[in-house]
Amino acid sequence: MTNRCGKCQQFTRTPDNQKDICGAWEQPTTATRDACEYFIPKKKPRKPEESN
């Protein structure tokens, strides 16, 4: 599975524009674009609960 811009914390929606913005490099992007090396997932993976 490939990471996409729309799943990155640095991705910002701009409702009036055709392109959205990448906060890492402050350039237009789209949600479906392949993520770059600055990709940070929006949701951190859950840690398994430690059992006592």
What whole-number distance in Å separates Cα of residue 49 and Cα of residue 26?
Answer: 37
Residue 2: its pLDDT value, please?
A: 87
Q: What is the pLDDT of residue 50?
A: 60
Give the whole-angstrom CA distance, residue 20 versus residue 26: 10
Per-residue model confidence as pLDDT tens for the chain (52 residues): 689 999 999 999 988 878 899 999 889 999 999 999 999 998 866 676 665 5
